[in-house]
Amino acid sequence: MGKRRYHHGELRGALLDAAEALVRERGADGWSLREASARVGVSPSAAYHHFSSRDALVHALSERVLTRLGERMAAATAAAGRGSDPLRRLVALGCGYVRWAVEDPAVARLAFGAGATGPAPAITPHPHDVLDAELDRLVEAGALPAPSRAGAEFVVWAALHGLAVLLIDGLVHLDGPQAVDQEADRVVRAVLNGLAQEPPPPRERPAPRSAHTERRAGRSAT
């Protein structure tokens, strides 16, 4: 295969495209940086100008994928608008999250696995921030009690992520995209109903954290 010439930014994007295609074909771990380079038509040494290792390429691909997910979730909530159902936007967000995982399971698994390590990612909008904003809207609308808001994003995320993983691992089966949306709708409403009715905690609740929330807290402190 002849070597192609790329402008600086083009080669980085082409390597990310090649890695994403390899993930879909072979899974998150079944390929190398050398193979991604060969698919693009450049030498591994050219790829190393952009990514110091396969892990660096995986981390950058995870950033790209999670940025797309954040954009998809934000677009879903915007399309749902502010109708009479206060949960409508959050349901749309949940459907977007679960559908994304079901439609692209190999890439979803890569994003799930790569986000916990590596340097601080440049993800805008971050999916966690989109979820936070929708829960804040529900508090403002009176659909979620303010005392239940603390940590609610982790409760909702756990439920949606659990459904997504059960589906992509084949442990739960649903017939078609509409059924997936209906199940995600049910999960969101069940979780929010539970949060709205939970009694005051007998003691201070544990404070869940993620890599993103810890980075966000660090930025706020500076």
**Interval 122-158: pLDDT, tens:** 788 999 999 999 999 999 999 999 999 999 999 999 9
Share of the chain above pLDDT 70, in %: 91
Q: CA 43 to CA 195: how far, in whole Å?
A: 54
Give the pLDDT confidence score for residue 208 in this predicted structure: 84
Task: Tally Cβ neighbours within 10 Å of residue 145.
Answer: 15
Give the pLDDT confidence score for residue 205 in this predicted structure: 76
Q: Where are the domains of the chain?
A: 1-52, 65-221
Give the pLDDT confidence score for residue 62 in this predicted structure: 93
Q: CA 167 to CA 7: how far, in whole Å?
A: 41
pLDDT above 50 for 197? yes
Q: Assign domain 65-221 to a CATH class.
A: mainly alpha
Residue holding tokens 């986000």? 115
pLDDT (mean) for 87-110: 95
Give the pLDDT confidence score for residue 1 in this predicted structure: 44
String of DSSP letters for 93-114: HHHHHHHHHHHSHHHHHHHHHH
Mean pLDDT (the chain) is 89
CA distance between the termini of the chain: 50
Give the pLDDT confidence score for residue 137 in this predicted structure: 94
pLDDT: is 123 or 195 the higher one?
195
Asked whether 105 and 203 are in contact (CB, 8 A), the reply is: no
Rg of the chain over Cα atoms, rounded to whole angstroms, equals 20
Asked whether 154 and 213 are in contact (CB, 8 A), the reply is: no
Structure tokens that stand for 206 in this block: 């544990």
pLDDT above 60 for 198? yes
Q: CA 46 to CA 56: how far, in whole Å?
A: 14
Q: Assign domain 1-52 to a CATH class.
A: mainly alpha
